[in-house]
Structure 1
Amino acid sequence: MELTETDLTIATEKGTLRVPLHEVHRAKRVPPARRPPAADVIALELAANDAWPAPTQSRLGSWILRAAGNWTGRANSALAVGDPDRTLEAAIDGVVEWYAAHGQQPLINAPMPLAAPVNAALDARGWTARPLTLMQTGPVAPLLTTIPAHSDLPPVDLADTPGDDWYAMVAEHKGTLPPTAVRILTGVPEVVFAHVRDTDGSLLAVARGAVTGPGRWLGISLLQTAPAARRRGIAQQVMRGLAQWATQRGSTRAYLQVEERNTAAVALYGRVGFSTHHTYLTREAPAA
C-alpha cells in the first residue's frame, strides 16, 4: 500500500488499484496472509511446466516462452518467474516479439504475488486478464486415508497411454485435441492416465497424473466425471488412485490448478486437503 497527498494505491492479486483520497472514507491496513517464499513458488511453477511441456520453448533470461498451437493457456504463455535478464519493459517487448514471430497472441502467465510488478506493468499497457487461477497444493498421504475405498464403485484403471474415449472425454472440456495436445499430454517420462468405466464399458471419469521436478510433485489435471456419474464419489476415488501411483514413485506432495470461479471443484479439493499455495493470472496483450 502506498499513500500520497492525493491518492491511495493498493496492491491486489489482479494488479494495482489507485483511489483518490477524497473517495476514501475509512481505511485499515490488514496484515498480509503468510506468503510462500519466492523460491517455493518458482520451484512449483517449474515442476508444473515440466508436467505440461509445450513443444516449443525458449528462454528470456529465466522467463520461459512457450508455444503449442494455442492449445491451453498454460502451454502458450510466457512463464514470468525469475529474472528476465533485462528491464521489465524490455522483457514484455521481448515476449510480444517472440509470439509475433510464432504467429500467436502474446500471453504472459504471472504468478501472484511473486509477479506483482509484472502485472502492474501489464496493467499500464492495457493487457487484460483471464479468470484468476488457484495453484493448490496438499500432501499425498492423506489422499489415501481421508478418501475411503468404496467397493461399490467401479475400479480406477491406470494406464501408460490414454484410450480413444479418454481423449474424447477431455475434448468435451478442452475442445478438439490437435497433435500438439497429444505431445503435451504424453510427453512426460512419469505420467499416468486414469479411466473409470461402467459395467457396460462406457467411460465415467478420467484424469491425468504426472510426477515432475526435484520435489517429486504429483500434478493432477483433467479430472472429469460424466454428468450422469457425478455426486457418487468417483472423482475422489480417481484422486486416491493417482495418489497410490505417485506414492510408489516417491511423491509426497501434490498440486492442481483450478479457476477460482469453479467453486464446486474448489470445495471438492478442499475436502481432501488441498489449499491455495499461490495464484496466477494469464494476461492477454491488447489487439494490435
Structure 2
Amino acid sequence: MLRQQDVGHRVVVRRIVGVSNDRPLFTDALGELVDLTETDLTIATDKGTLRVPLREVHRAKRVPPASRPHAAAVIALELAADQAWPAPVRAKLGNWLLRAADNWTGRANSALAVGDPDRPLDAAIDAVERWYHDHGQRPLINAPMPLAAPVNATLDARGWSARPLTLVQTSPLAPILAAPARTDLPPVDLADSPGDDWYAMVAEHKGTLPASAIRILNGVPEKVFAHVRDADGDLLAVARGAITGPDRWLGVALLQTAPAARRRGLGRHVVRGLAQWAAQHGSSRAYLQVEERNTAAVALYGRMGFSTHHTYLTREAPIS
C-alpha cells in the first residue's frame, strides 16, 4: 500500500470494481497521488481527479515519473515564468536572457541559460560575468535541468557554486478546482494591486522590497493579488497569480500564511482561488517554483496535484 511519503508522486492503483463468476474485476488508474487519508486516496489522472475508497484498492504502488519533458516544453515554461517575473534591467546574449533587479530574488537577477547564446559556452559565461560586474552584481546563471546539463558541467569546471535545487512543478487546474471549497474559511479576495499589509507580509519573507521588486510584482498585464483576512481585517494569507506565455500558464508565487494561521488549509484555499480566477481568464494549467529542501511545501503542493516538470540550479560565480 501507499504511505504519506508517496503523496506528490506518480502511482498506479489497481481497483476492485465488481465480481464476475466469483472472480473480482479490476481496473487500473495511473496518476499523481494528491491525497491519502485513513479511508480514501485521491489521484490526479489525465482524465481528471479520481477518489478511491481504500476498501476497493487491491494493490497500489509508486511508479517512476513520466518521461522527461521535451526541451521545447522546458524552454516555453521558463520563458513564461520569466514573463511573470519581469526584471526591469534586461539584455540578450543570443537566446540567453540577462536580468537584474537590485538583487531582489535570484530569478530576477540571473542569466536564464535556455537556447543558444550564439557563442561557445566559455565565451558566453565570460560575457555573463562582464555584464553582471558592469551592473555591480555577483554573476548568477539559472540553469534548467536536464536542458542545461552542458552549462552546469562548464560552470562546475570554472568553480561556480550552486544554490539549493529548485523544483518547477505543474498541475492542470482541474484537480485544484475539484477540491471542495472551504466555506469555513474567510473568502479569498482578489485585487488588481496589493495592499500595504500584503507588501508587509511578503517583506517578512523576502526582505525589504526595493523599487525593482514593486515593478516586478506589478509589471505583468494579467496578474492578481490574493488576500485572506480574518473577521477583524487582519491578514491571514497572501499570494500572487499571473497568466503569461502563449499557453497561458498560471504562475503561483509568494504564497504565504501568517504564523498563527498555519495548518488550517489556507494555502490550498488561496491556490484554489487563484485557479478559479485563471480558469475564468482562459488558463488551464498552473506552475510554481519551490526549493526541493522545503519538504513541507513540496508535500502541500503534491496534495494539490502538482508534480515536478523540471528542475533548475541557480549558479553563483566565485567571489573574486
The alignment's TM-score, normalised by the length of structure 1, stands at: 0.88
Gaps of 5+ in 1: 1-30
Report the residue type matching 2:184 in the other structure. Answer: D
Q: For 1:192, what is the secondary structure of its paired residue? A: strand
In structure 2, the partner of 1:268 is 300
1:192 aligns to what? 224
2:15 corresponding residue in structure 1: none
Rate the CA distance shift 1:264–1:32 in 2: closer, same or farther, 3 A: closer
Deviation of 1:116 after TM superposition, in Å, equals 0.4
What residue number does 1:97 align with? 130
Q: Deviations for 1:65-100, whole angstroms, at most 9, x for unmatched residues?
A: 000010000000000000000000100000001001
- Taking the aligned partners of 1:129 and 1:67, their CA distance within structure 2 comes to 18
Q: Which amino acid in structure 2 is aligned with residue 57 of structure 1?
A: R
Which residue in 1 is equivalent to 2:152? 119
- Give aligned-pair identity as a percent: 79
Higher strand share: 2
**Deviation by residue 1:187-228 (Cα, 9 ceiling, x = unmatched):** 000000000001011000000000000000000000000111
Structure 2 Cα separation of the partners of residues 123 and 67 of structure 1: 23
Which residue pairs with 2:312 in the alignment? 280
Q: Kindly indicate whether residue 263 of structure 2 is the aligned counterpart of residue 210 of structure 1.
A: no
**CA-atom RMSD in angstroms:** 1.1
Q: Which runs of 5+ in 2 are unaligned?
A: 1-63
Is the partner of 1:83 in helix, strand or coil?
coil
Query: Runs in 1 of length 4+ with deviation above 3 angstroms?
Result: none
1:141 CA displacement: 1.8
Structure 1 residue 36, shift from structure 2 partner? 0.5
Rg: which structure is higher? 2
> SS at the partner of 1:251?
coil
| Number of aligned residues | 257
Q: CA deviation at 1:114?
A: 0.3
| 1:162 alignment partner AA | P
Q: Secondary structure at the match of 1:286?
A: coil
User: For 1:283, what is the secondary structure of its paired residue?
Assistant: strand
Partner of 2:90: 57
2-structure distance, mates of 1:35, 1:142? 22
1:26 aligns to what?
none
Structure 2 CA distance, aligned partners of 1:100 and 1:61? Answer: 19
**1:90–1:33: structure 2 CA closer, same or farther, 3 Å change rule?**
farther
Give the alignment's TM-score, normalised by structure 2: 0.79
Residue 32 to residue 144, structure 1, CA distance change in 2 (3 Å):
closer
